[in-house]
Structure 1
Amino acid sequence: MKRYDYIIAGGGLAGLSLAYYMNQSVLRNKQILILDRDEKNKNDRTWCFWETDRESPFDPIVFRKWPEVYFYGSGGFEKKLDLGNYAYKWIRGIDFYNFVKTDLAANPNITFLQTNVGRLTSTADGGFVITEAGQFIADYVFDSVTSLRLDNKKRENMLQHFKGWEISTPQPSFDPDVPIMMDYRIAQTGLGVRFSYVLPVDEKRAFVEYTVFSDKLLEPAEYDRELHTYIRDVLNIQDFEIHHEEFGVIPMTDELPETPRDSRVIRIGTSGGYVKASSGYAFKRTQWLTQELVSQILTTGEPSPPKATLHSWFKRLMDSTLLNVLLRERHSGEVIFTHLYKKNLTPKLLTFMDGKASFADELRIMSTVPLWAFTKGMVDTLIKRF
């Protein structure tokens, strides 16, 4: 049984991000094993996020970026949002995989192994991993393959599920300078919140996605039907060709993994609660949290989770409250998000959604949502927990 310094179980966004930041530090001299069942040679993901336009390690692979976005909300509200010092960025999965794998391939201390991961166990000697290709042990194992339970009755559990098509049209149909970040001009049928977005490649090509926040998936044919309806009736496109499609499910949950502080198996990524519970955004949070993990190892020698503070507890409570409001249909999600974008400066709102706003700004932004619905949601959330 071969021993490594670190094993990364799962070579997706979180696993490769962690390996990338390790490789930028003295940890590059450690023996690191990355396990994943896939080669990561397909464009299976689309990541969109906002960030201030400073230099970022992934700037070379940003496929498109924009200083403005369209928002279409309830009651006919529509606005071109100026993002201020933020840019809205689009990174394709295949570009991210190739960029990081190329960087890591130059380090002989990093080993990739394509295999299915079975059991992961914390022992006195380290993290123990059983795979189809054999058994391995390391000082620490970083686990992004174990699923969250999503069945804790004391927590709020919702799913973000989506299907997208990259389409082309014979005539100019898109504004390449401004994407549609959220579009509620679609039927809010059934449970949950539904919206679409459009990422233009050029005037004749774009990625169009239909997204639902709910606790249950739709029938497969419904995603296709709704995409066709949106493209035909809202975008007014009758003739188009589909070149690529993407389907995914992301948990929007306030559940946190139950990991003892002395465990040698550390949960990361979706498995570790990295996805923003109230929005489903993951790319930037994954960068922040994996960088923080590397910093902790360099500082203390141990990847200990950060200690909770009163402010971090309050931010998680706000995420939980929004999930409670949406799941129990205490108020229309379409109206809630319209209020947020209509009544707040966009850069301030984006900082808030990143979890980086001051406590005073958080209170100001929360005052623009339907207060009675959110009060009931917060009370219900607290009662369930305690």
Structure 2
Amino acid sequence: MQKYDFIIAGSGLAGLSLAYYMNQTILREKSILIIDQDTKTKNDRTWCFWEKGNQNPFDQIVHRKWQKVYFHGTNYSDTLDLGEYSYKWLKGIDFYNFVRTDLATNPNIKFVNERIERLIDTPAGGFIITTENQYLGEYVFDSIKPLRLDLDDCHNMLQHFKGWEIVTDKPVFDPACPTMMDYRVEQQGVGVRFMYILPESPTRAMIEFTVFSDSLLSPTDYDVELHRYIRDFLKIENFSIEHEEFGVIPMTDEPTPQHIGEHVIRIGTAGGYVKASTGYAFQRTQRFTQELVRNLVTVGKPLHEPKKFRQRFKELLDSTMLNVLLKNRASGKDIFTALYKKNPTPRLFAFLDEDTTFREDLRIMATVPLGAFTLGLLDALRKRI
């Protein structure tokens, strides 16, 4: 059996972010093992997020950034001024390569490509059995545990998306301004559907079809919607597909306890890093993994701060949004249109980042359909009780 100070199960966004921040502190002197069956050598995902200035260490590998975005909703289209914020596009492969290059300078950090078959907490430490070896860590950070997504007293949706990076024969894109959300696509069933466009040049862009719903579409449905949008809204007849990506992110208020025993700590989706009502995870992951590292350095344990009233209130708002969408209490398209039409974009970004005050939260919630959200709030409270 091989023993390590820290073992990170999974080398995705959460696992690599945690390892990166460890490597910037005295924790770099500890033995660290990262286990993942995937080598992360493909550009398998896109992260888009907003941020004030250049606050994270990955800004140097941001693929594109913008100070304004297009928005298309219900009878409303506008160019949104982001104020102090920038809207940023980070490619998965650039993130993987950047972090792995940084970690490769530390001989105390080891990667193994193995499939984890069992991960448990024991009195001696976090114990992992893979297809090839057994490992024991003083602390194991688990990002691979799947959520159940079937609890009756929880709200469970999926954010699923397919994107094409296309090249056109004529200039049609505005490289200075992406389309952050376009709700003009046909809305069907539970949830909401929208497109977004990340332009690289007048003739090249990533076009992503995103759905919030309680189930996936058939594989061909994503292609049909992308073709329709490119033809009918962008008026593009000739193009080639240079890259494809597909992903599924759980949007759920399922409880995500982070401490599983004394030695196993869940991170990433398993640890509740994904914001339930939007599926955004990049900035929350940076915030939470830095908190873990800070506590390891200062008190020697990966403690999490107890939830305060504001955090619990924001979680209740997330549950309310999921309830409204799942129960079709109001059109998701109309809800998001109202939010972006009636609120300054910087204030809304701060709200989605959970950086607003209780009073600011109430001001923003006053701009959504109050009847639908009141019913959703009462139902969400009933489920919790």
* TM-score, normalising length: structure 1: 0.98
What is the deviation of 1:258? 3.5
Question: Would you say the 8 A contact 1:261–1:305 is kept in 2?
Answer: no
- Which residue of the partner structure matches residue 334 of structure 2? 335
Alignment of 1:159 with 2:170, yes or no, is no
Cα distance in 2 for partners of 1:171, 1:353 equals 36
Corresponding position of 2:248: 249
| Secondary structure class of the residue paired with 1:201 | strand
How far apart are the structure 2 equivalents of 1:271 and 1:258?
8
Q: What is the aligned partner in structure 2 of residue 318 from structure 1?
A: 317
1:5 corresponding residue in structure 2: 5
Q: Which residue of 2 aligns with 1:30?
A: 30
1:191 corresponds in structure 2 to: 190
CA distance in 1, matches of 2:251, 2:188: 20
* Equivalences for residues 111-126 of structure 1 within 5 A: 111-126=110-125
Superimposed CA distance per residue, residues 151-202 of structure 1 (whole angstroms, 9 cap, x where no aligned partner) = 1111111100000000000110100000000001110023220000000010
Separation of aligned partners in 2, 1:352 and 1:43: 30
Contact 1:4 1:33 in 2 (8 A): yes
Distance 1:170 1:281 in 2: 33
Alignment of 1:1-386 (within 5 A): 1-75=1-75, 77-260=76-259, 262-386=261-385
CA shift, 1:55, in A, is 4.2
Contact 1:261–1:304 (Cα < 8 Å) also in 2: no
Q: Partners of 2:283 and 2:18 in 1: how far apart?
A: 13
Distance in 2 (alpha carbons) for counterparts of 1:262 and 1:134: 22
SS at match of 1:249: strand
CA distance in 1, matches of 2:304, 2:126: 17
Task: For residue 119 of structure 2, give the secondary structure of its aligned residue in structure 1.
Answer: strand
CA-based RMSD: 0.9
Compute the displacement of 1:262 (Å).
Answer: 4.4
SS at match of 1:375: helix
Instruction: Report the Cα offset of residue 56 of structure 1.
Output: 2.5
User: Letter of the aligned partner of 1:224 in structure 2?
Assistant: D
Matched residue type, 2:57: P
Partners of 1:266 and 1:133 lie apart in 2 by 23
1:305 to partner: Cα distance: 2.2
* Counterpart residue type for residue 136 of structure 2: I
Structure 1 residue matching 2:319: 3-state secondary structure = helix
Q: 2:54 and 2:93 mapped to 1: Cα distance?
A: 23
**CA separation in 2, counterparts of 1:111 and 1:180?**
40
Q: Distance in 2 between matches of 1:309 and 1:165?
A: 41
Distance in 2, Cα, partners of 1:291 & 1:318 = 25
Checking the alignment, whether the CA contact within 8 Å between 1:4 and 1:137 is kept in structure 2 is yes
CA distance in structure 2 between the aligned counterparts of 1:320 and 1:290, rounded to whole angstroms: 24
**CA deviation string 1:311-359 (max 9, x = no partner):** 1110100001000000110000000000000000000000000011111
- C-alpha change, 1:33 and 1:246, in structure 2 (3 Å) is same
2:34/2:111 contact within 8 Å kept: yes
AA of the residue aligned to 2:172: S
**C-alpha deviation, 1:66, in angstroms:** 0.2
Letter in 2 for 1:328: K
Instruction: Give the aligned residue type for 2:200.
Output: V
Find the aligned partners of 1:357 and 1:306 in 2 and give their Cα distance: 18
* Partner Cα separation in structure 2 for residue 248 and residue 50 of structure 1: 20
Q: Secondary structure at the match of 1:277?
A: coil
Runs of 4+ aligned structure 1 residues displaced above 4 Å come to 259-262
The residue type paired with residue 207 of structure 2 is V
- The DSSP-based 3-state class of the residue aligned with 1:149 is coil
Q: Distance in 2 between matches of 1:344 and 1:274?
A: 26
**What residue ranges of structure 2 are gaps of 5+ in the alignment?**
none
Amino acid at match of 1:263: E
By how many angstroms is 1:10 displaced? 0.0
How big is the shift at 1:140?
0.5
d(CA) in 1 for partners of 2:125, 2:219: 43
Q: In percent, how many aligned pairs have the same letter?
A: 61
Deviations 1:78-136 (A, max 9, x none): 01000000000000000000000000000000000001111110111110011112000
The unaligned stretches of length 5 or more in structure 1 are none
1:37 Cα deviation (Å)?
0.7
Mapped partners of 2:262, 2:193: distance in 1? 39
Give distance in 2, aligned partners of 1:310 and 1:277. Answer: 17
Q: Distance in 1 between matches of 2:315 and 2:190?
A: 24
Aligned partner of residue 44 in structure 2, secondary structure: coil
Residues in 2 aligned to 1:289 and 1:116: alpha-carbon distance in whole angstroms: 26
